[in-house]
Amino acid sequence: MHIHILGICGTFMGGLAALAREAGHKVTGCDAGVYPPMSDQLRSLGIELIEGFDANQMRLNPDVYVIGNVVSRARLANGSPKFPLMEAILESGATYTSGPQWLAEHVLHHPSQHRHVLAVAGTHGKTTTTSMLAWILQAAGLEPGFLVGGVPMNFGVSARLGRLSSEADVAAHKRTPFVIEADEYDTAFFDKRSKFVHYHPRTAILNNLEFDHADIFDNLAAIERQFHHLVRTVPGSGRVVVNADEDSLQRVLDQGCWSGIAKFGVSANARGMLHGPTGWSVQGEPDNFAVLHQGQEVGRVQWDITGVHNQLNALAAIAAAEHLGVSPAQAAASLTEFQNVRRRMEVRGTVPRAGGDITVYDDFAHHPTAIRTTVDGLRRKVGPKARILAVFEPRSNTMKLGTMKSQLPWSLEDADLAFCHSGGLDWDAVEALSPMGARASVAGSVDEVIAQVVAAAQAGDHVLCMSNGGFGGIHAKLLAALA
């Protein structure tokens, strides 16, 4: 089959392209400003990339066009279509589908395979938890397939098919695992359901749930409804792994659940219920903690990864892996060798200074809660006396709308100084950060941000850059300017 992917350089669509290529399909694709790292990964796989969405790509005549959710029916100021290729596809009557739909039909639930799909959903931590779970299953010898919205450093790729089912496996209903990051964002301009409703998992992780994606959801209740749609697709013999610390997820379950439930958490409020037969909790600090099941220690995790949020991610992954028969002790031990994901507290470099090196980090955090937990994780690692300089840009659609601007001072409480790139915002970042007083600085360009950080930086500082985009290459520029 020849598939042509519109919006191929996004993390999900790029991963889908890699899976399709590995499965033996011919894959081509297009995007605006074809960009790395996905463009480099795809070209290394021999996938032809075309710049833009021009209608002349119809000459490729693929069997099906796979449409990413970057594509819309939008018009430019002059009235011409923003995506002329999509208009041509519609006019011609050519076959098209969404990425999640194609993935479900041709990879996750193709008749030639018999897969146990494990879907990882949540406002935060999807990529990291998906990567942890895939690594636990790999260490257990299960050779899982996976599709992650990032690059797990244990694997070096964002997607792979994993072990394929033999005829004997299919005949015996022996399922091979496939772990997928399950995004609640909408599927395509013609399918406004969340992506994850297409995946039909047997194991579903509901890691957390807050309001996000203000561009497509009116309120938290609307997102809760989509999460319940995911729960509805899990079979009776399946398992829903749920964060017991989240009232929003309890409301999701209250709408109905017909599968086994495993609950995990770290808070004092949740701990009582976690001593029951399905409860998972922790004891100890984030870098060295016991894993408790029914109140009894069943494993221990020792690693260099920071943050209480990663304790929760680990619990979710361990509880999900146990559904496939991986013992908690084995799962916890394998996490000792987990190397995290690129752009998750990734050290991009250090600058030598008398009195202590300046360290520059890169992290994907962009939602206020994610920013807070990321800064908290670094604070726990470096201690109370070290200075943290938080450098961030409100780049997500939700943050650009200003929906959560009032939460930014709260999210940055543990940082000594904060530097905000305000370029492209329609709201006043100076006003939003005013409760922080002199601890916060705002600049309209990346170069201005760099100048502010360089002027403030001292020996031994930890400079934490947070964005869900490339941030104008700020990491390398900062390292050069600080040198």
| Contact present, 355 and 383 (Cβ < 8 Å) | no
Q: How confident is the model at residue 272 (pLDDT cuts 50, 70, 90)?
A: low
pLDDT, tens digit (0-9, with 9 covering 90-100), for 402-448: 778 888 999 899 999 999 999 888 889 899 999 999 999 999 999 99
The verdict on pTM exceeding 0.85 is no
CA distance 381 to 232: 40
Q: What is the pLDDT of residue 37?
A: 66
Q: What is the pLDDT of residue 380?
A: 84
pLDDT, tens digit (0-9, with 9 covering 90-100), for 297-331: 999 999 988 888 899 999 999 999 999 999 999 99
Q: Pick the closest to residue 262 from 132, 118, 125, 126 (CA basis).
A: 118
pLDDT, tens digit (0-9, with 9 covering 90-100), for 346-355: 889 999 998 8
| Contact present, 66 and 102 (Cβ < 8 Å) | yes
Residue 359 bridge partners (DSSP)? 350, 462
**Looking at this protein, which amino acid is placed at residue 263?**
K
Q: What is the mean pLDDT of residues 388-414?
A: 85
pLDDT, tens digit (0-9, with 9 covering 90-100), for 98-130: 999 999 999 999 988 889 999 999 988 899 999
